[in-house]
Amino acid sequence: MVVAAADLPTLRRHARARGWSRLRLLSAGDNTFKYDLGSEDEDGVQDSTVSVFTRDADGTVRHCYSAHPRMAEDIDQRGLDLLSPVWHLLDLTPGGRGDWFAGLDY
């Protein structure tokens, strides 16, 4: 599932425009989830976060892991590389990945 700061109608429009029909989208717009995991600060600055949760047999949800793309102020968008192996291939080429970052529209 994906949790985003946007409201549900906006998330649903975004998903429909991309043909996403089997992805569960949740809104963190009206709760503290995005602050609790550090994906948004008090000034509204957002950073992507990948988190893993498990559910015990009794239904208890546990936070196991979170990672952010920005590993340090001078290292931008490298913390989630293991989830996208294409970066490993680009890093092996003479030009590397350069300053290109994935976008929603091209």
Classify residue 102 as exposed, middle or buried by CB count within 10 Å of its CB (0-12, 13-18, 19+).
exposed
The reported pLDDT for the residue numbered 5 is 87
The reported pLDDT for the residue numbered 78 is 58
Query: What mean pLDDT is predicted for residues 70-98?
Result: 72
Query: CA angle, corner 69, sides to 26 and 73, nearest 5?
Result: 130
**Measured CA distances, 21 to 11, 29, 44 (Å):** 12, 21, 29
Residue 98: CB atoms within 10 A of its CB come to 8
Mean pLDDT lowest for which of 35-39, 94-98, 100-104? 100-104
Return d(Cα 96, Cα 22) in angstroms, integer.
Answer: 34
Does pLDDT of 106 surpass 60? Answer: no
In the chain, how long is the greatest CA-to-CA distance?
52
Express each pLDDT in 18-71 by its tens digit: 899 898 899 998 899 989 988 888 898 887 788 889 999 999 999 998 887 766
